[in-house]
Structure 1
Amino acid sequence: MEIREVHKVELDTTTDKKPASSMKKWLRNLLKGLAIVVIAIVVFIAVVFFVDLFSSKSEQAKLLPYGQSVTVDGKYMNVSTHGEGEETIVLLPGYGTAAPALDFKPLIEQLSPFYKVVVIEPFGYGLSDLTDKERSTENIVSEIHDVLQSLQIDRYILMGHSISGIYGLDYVNKYPSEVSAFVGLDSSVPTLKEQKIGSSILGTLNLLKKTGFARLQLKIGDDPYAELPYDDQTKEQLKILIHKNIYNANQLNEAGNMYANFEAAEHLTFPKALPVMFFIQANHPVTDRWIPEHEKQIKDSVHGKMVLFEADHYLYRTHSTEIVENLRTFMEQVKQDK
């Protein structure tokens, strides 16, 4: 009888288990890492949101009121008046200027010894309320006129910065008997259109506002007033109002309407008999048509003049003395020619 030895063969499975075990461990670590990142992002967003919330409340308590409130369409529009001159100048801001009455301060200080200066802060600007009405040229111009009617101001020089060149062009054609002259401070020209701003961009800016990231954006950016001749209190108030008004509903709506507002003004020209004076930056950073297009606007004017400055877009902050000197000489010449 033959006896065979039976050897029990055991399969070595260790080589199969190790990769599977390592893979599971790697996945667990990856998920933990992702969870930590997600939690960190959520915490960061929460910190930004609550810092903005608490800072806004703190700043609101430090905000110093100025000017007077005028009722328009059931809302309050803020107006700041300076000087007691016989002639009145109505000052209108450029797009997004957080606090026009404070931002125009260097210019107001130079104008007020000679003119009565009225600074209008449109809805969504400065201390003015927000409105539900579209920020079309038609509505903006009508609201400005309503303010002046309420204040019983019926004869004035209209002076506007940037986008107010578009609103001002419409304004002088609608109320020609009230405006004695138009002065543009690097004012916009209808033929040089702004690009359309899509709803996705506006939605993103609105989200930045609501989450508090707009404040963070301002924090890491440059302070536009740091090197300018504003006193410390004014700089502090400007900063508070920048935080308050940046990307608010009215300013976003105005941005969304900007292309249409430019198009609506394309066919408009300044009345031939209306004195028009432009203060323009000599070297525009984007277009070489800036000076020629302004020249076209005054080519048919009986009294038209353009003064160039080596300055940026906010030239009234640094060249207010020269602006007032040139304006007074220009208006005196206009009176002599009549």
Structure 2
Amino acid sequence: MTQQVGKEIRNSKKTKRVLRILLKVFVTVIIAIFLFIAIVFTVNKISSHSEQKRIEQYGQHVSVNGKQMNVIIQGQGEETIVLLPGYGTAAPALDFKPLITELTSYYKVAVIEPFGYGLSDQTREERSTANIVSEIHTALQSLHIDRYILMAHSISGIYSLDYVNQYPDEVRAFIGLDSSVPALSEQKVDSSVTEQIKWFRNLGFARLQLKLSADPYDRLPYDEHTKEQLNILRHKNIYNTTQLNEAVSMYSNFKAAEKLTFPSNLPVLFFVQANHPVTDRWIPEHEKQLEESVHGEMVLLDAGHYLYRSHPKEISSKVRGFMSGIK
């Protein structure tokens, strides 16, 4: 009996030692996690403050609904191309630089940086297609640009569907740069998800995410200074509230676009990646958009989604040839 009691006491002491060790490990892990978060937060705050001073201004500001929208205009051509970015592009005017360089020898090029992009202000207005289209049109009116070729990348293809139907007398042709199609909608994003992303951003983990991700401009025709500015603006604009609100509105914007088609008399040129990594419907859906066009064409490129970064010369050359065939 005495031996049994002694054994139980020893087991009890051993259990307590194990529990104390586990508790110490748990507390150490918790402290390490909080310390890691504090370091990430502090580094982000210091870096953001430093980078803010290094941002170089470009383009010009246009007043739209009491906010400032940034637009860059280059080139002296008789015809104007208006360039619209894809979702989340940190600094459209810099991101489009290789394509702008190729186009400005023949066209005047105006790059719109919508609210929440590049050097433009943010806005609390709903990111519906109607609001985005109206804001872009207001900016162009302020700049007295009233006849132009509309060129759009990715999600701006959805906004452009509405745009060309609202302003058919202004848009001379539409050029899609791997532009989105209504039938292949993005997934619905709930506002509760974006609230979590805001915490992720505010704590500084968005900067860490970019640090650990591959350089999207590696081995592409961007000089080091431009890449530095792009990197700064990626940190500045990633997951900003305006872009997160756009993500929430994206599903309904796609659904609304399902009712729209390009006007049959509008010349339409698509540049499309030949091998989409996710869906085999990418090319067929673009072909459907061209079915009623009297002057429609699609060019397949062996490239990724950001094909204007890697194939600016091919795009510029084809645009000139396409437009020369339009009276």
TM-score range, shorter chain: over 0.9
> What residue number does 2:126 align with?
134
CA shift for structure 1 position 202: 2.1
Q: State how 1:83-98 maps to structure 2 within 5 Å.
A: 83-98=75-90
**What is the deviation of 1:15?**
3.4
Deviation at 1:21, TM superposition (A): 2.2
AA paired with 1:188? S
Aligned equivalent of 2:158: 166
Matched, 1:22 2:1: no
Q: 1:186 aligns with which of 178, 189, 212?
A: 178
| 1:204-243 alignment, distance < 5 Å | 204-243=196-235
In structure 2, runs of 5+ residues without a counterpart are none
Shift of 1:191: 1.2
Q: Which SS does the other structure have where 1:334 is aligned?
A: coil
Equivalent in the alignment of 2:38: 46
Provide Cα deviations, 1:240-275, integer angstroms capped at 9, x if missing partner. 011111111111111111110000010101111111
Query: Are residues 1:101 and 2:101 paired?
Result: no
Are 1:309 and 2:301 an aligned pair? yes
* Secondary structure, aligned partner of 2:94: helix
- Residues 137-164 of structure 1: CA deviation (Å, up to 9, x unaligned): 0110000001001111111100000001
Q: Which one has the largest radius of gyration?
A: 1
| Distance in 1, Cα, partners of 2:110 & 2:267 | 19
Cα deviation 1:286-318 (Å, max 9, x = unaligned): 111111111111111121111111111111111
Question: Which residue number in structure 2 is paired with residue 291 of structure 1?
Answer: 283
Equivalent-residue separation in structure 2 for 1:301 and 1:11 (angstroms): 95
Give the Cα separation in 2 of the matches to 1:135 and 1:266. Answer: 18
Deviation readout 1:2-39 (Å, 9 max, x if unpaired): xxxxxxxx999543432222222222222111111111
Q: Offset of 1:194 from its aligned partner?
A: 1.2
Partner secondary structure for residue 154 of structure 1: coil
Structure-1 separation of matches of 2:14 and 2:3: 21
3-state secondary structure, aligned to 2:278: coil
Q: 1:203 aligns with which of 192, 195, 200?
A: 195
* Counterpart Cα distance in 1 of 2:176 and 2:188: 24
TM-score of the two chains, using structure 1 as the length reference: 0.94
Q: Tell me if 1:329 matches 2:321.
A: yes
Identity of aligned residues (%): 65
- Structure 2 letter corresponding to 1:243: H
Q: TM-score scaled by structure 2?
A: 0.97
Tell me the number of residue pairs that the alignment of Structure 1 and Structure 2 aligns. Answer: 327
Pair 1:20–1:53, CA change in 2 (3 A): same
Whether 1:261 and 2:281 are equivalent positions in the alignment is no
Please report how far the alpha carbon of residue 200 of structure 1 lies from its aligned counterpart in structure 2 after TM superposition: 4.1
The match for 2:55 is: 63
Look up the SS of the partner of 2:325 in the other structure: helix
**SS of residue in 1 equivalent to 2:249:** helix
The runs of 4+ residues in structure 1 deviating greater than 6 Å are: none
Change (3 A) 1:29 1:155: same
Residue in structure 2 matching 1:35, options 19, 27, 40: 27
C-alpha spacing 1:12/1:177, structure 2 compared with 1 (3 Å) = closer
Label 1:159 to 1:30 Cα distance change in 2 as closer, same or farther (>3 A).
same
The amino acid of 1:244's aligned partner reads: K
Separation in 1 of the partners of 2:194 and 2:3?
Answer: 66
Separation (CA, whole Å) in 1 of partners of 2:101 and 2:132: 26
List per-residue Cα deviations over 1:71-96 (Å, max 9, x = no partner): 11111111011001111110000011
Change (3 A) 1:12 1:275: closer
Q: 1:283, 1:11 → 2: CA distance? A: 76
For residues 14 and 278 of structure 1, the distance between their equivalents in structure 2, rounded to whole angstroms, comes to 84
Residue segments in structure 1 that go unaligned for 5+ positions in a row: 1-9
